[in-house]
Structure 1
């Protein structure tokens, strides 16, 4: 009797939540874009038009960052992506306050400006890291090592940049711009090179084994293939070719003098 798998309620719930989040982001961007177009065509000029246009850019930019983070939905780094979308939303709020706020003390604006710059840095870095983590399930050693190195460089660069925003003693240090520039270049290099390598060096398709196949042998084959940077099929191909050739030789030897292959009688 055929058995039908029951739908996973948690998966359906996650799908619904993801759809709602994406809908909110898209609708917000559409509204902001519509307001920007309306101001450009029929709205008043001056300060109001500038604020509306900057608002459109803010909503659009942080929407792209949030969507980049949500690309990790239903993947192992799912929580990191959700947190990144939250960071982008919080940074967008700070940016909107900085655009529309009218009053405030010097301390208020100083803190707000630092929060704004920090939010921009962290949001951009978080979105890049989320996109890079889409490669976290690749098995090629060079890709895994490059991904880890890139994420570390990106994290250190972000922390150093934010520290320079909040503490003048760090920003004024003589080595600060050199260190920040070096780490930034390494981060950019990894962000470009690792995805390119992932495109060029694709993983071999997963191979399913029968349930009664010994698990220790299957794991050993997978580990050996990954260590050598080849697929399981490529790893065992020499053995299979040898066994197939040997079988063909036996088949030819067993043929009769008339060239026919003997058959088994029922």
Structure 2
């Protein structure tokens, strides 16, 4: 009598292997990162707001009150910009969101230095003061434009109008930013009337795009019909198909293809009798 051959044991994946192969791990990490950024923003702005309220209960006309209120306003504005950048994390353009958060952090640091420190270095250091003021203005402009661009990049309806209007709007914002930076750092640029006119026209068109493109996306999204959900097989049915395919010695795709071909075959004349 022959001895039964023991069936080979299938090795079970370890916990480390299961965690590495988990397809939901990147999504969870993105959610954790977003949640952390939001918590930092909320806590920072809450502390600044609490400080502003406490100071307002005391001497309103003191210099410390002015600085604390200014800190609260700056923190609130920069927090909104950082939140706009955080909304892009986990998307294809998350690098732009991370850059927006970085610009917001630099802008807040420079603004707080101007508010609480002594960046001017005395009345004789005008050139250094002018450089720092231009740098702060430039970073504030870049942060504001990046925040608006981050919100526009959240548009999901990729119709023909949005596909055309989105890159045009982003291009106009970039062009307006470059022209403004030129007039900020090059003093002689203010004397060029044609440059100032072009700069104004570009910003007007950019503002028009910022308003029109999102509204168009919302209107088109409201008018579209929801797509019908494609039918899917349950896990138990997939297991039954795999078991039947293993019994036939073929793959699951080959088995389903054979069954569909048999069902779609036209019966012959003898089969119809």
Question: Shorter-chain-normalised TM-score: which range?
Answer: 0.7 to 0.9
Q: 2:208 aligns with which of 185, 189, 193?
A: 189
Q: Where does 1:55-204 land on structure 2 (aligned, <5 Å)?
A: 55-102=71-118, 104=121, 105-135=125-155, 137-202=156-221, 204=225
- Aligned CA distance change for structure 1 residues 179 and 146 (closer, same or farther; 3 Å): same
CA distance in 1, matches of 2:97, 2:225: 27
Task: Tell whether the 8 Å contact from 2:152 to 2:166 is kept in structure 1 after alignment.
Answer: yes
Q: How far apart are 1:42 and its partner, in Å?
A: 1.9
CA distance in 1, matches of 2:23, 2:165: 38
- Higher deviation after alignment, 141-150 or 102-111: 102-111
Task: Tell whether the 8 Å contact from 2:134 to 2:184 is kept in structure 1 after alignment.
Answer: yes
CA distance in 1, matches of 2:149, 2:209: 11
Q: How far apart are 1:8 and its partner, in Å?
A: 2.2
CA distance in 2, matches of 1:25, 1:95: 17
Q: 2:38 aligns with which of 2, 22, 32?
A: 22
For residue 92 of structure 2, give the secondary structure of its aligned residue in structure 1.
coil
Report the TM-score, using the length of structure 1 for normalisation.
0.72
Q: Equivalent residue for 1:234?
A: none
CA distance in 2, matches of 1:95, 1:134: 28
CA distance in 2, matches of 1:44, 1:187: 40
- Aligned CA distance change for structure 1 residues 39 and 170 (closer, same or farther; 3 Å): same
Q: Equivalent residue for 1:54?
A: 70
Tell me, which stretches of 5 or more residues in structure 1 are unaligned? 212-266
For residue 42 of structure 1, give the secondary structure of its aligned residue in structure 2.
coil
Q: Equivalent residue for 1:217?
A: none
Task: Tell whether the 8 Å contact from 2:97 to 2:150 is kept in structure 1 after alignment.
Answer: yes
Task: Tell whether the 8 Å contact from 2:157 to 2:220 is kept in structure 1 after alignment.
Answer: no
Q: Where does 1:218-237 land on structure 2 (aligned, <5 Å)?
A: none
**Residues 66-95 of structure 1: CA deviation (Å, up to 9, x unaligned):** 101111121221111111111111111111
CA distance in 2, matches of 1:209, 1:21: 36
Q: How far apart are 1:164 and its partner, in Å?
A: 1.1
Say which one has the larger Rg.
Answer: 2
Q: Equivalent residue for 1:248?
A: none
> How many residues of Structure 1 are paired with residues of Structure 2 in the alignment?
208
Q: How far apart are 1:10 and its partner, in Å?
A: 2.4
CA distance in 2, matches of 1:197, 1:191: 11
Q: How far apart are 1:126 and its partner, in Å?
A: 0.3
- Higher deviation after alignment, 185-194 or 48-57: 48-57
Q: CA RMSD in A?
A: 2.3
Tell me, which stretches of 5 or more residues in structure 2 are unaligned? 1-20, 233-273
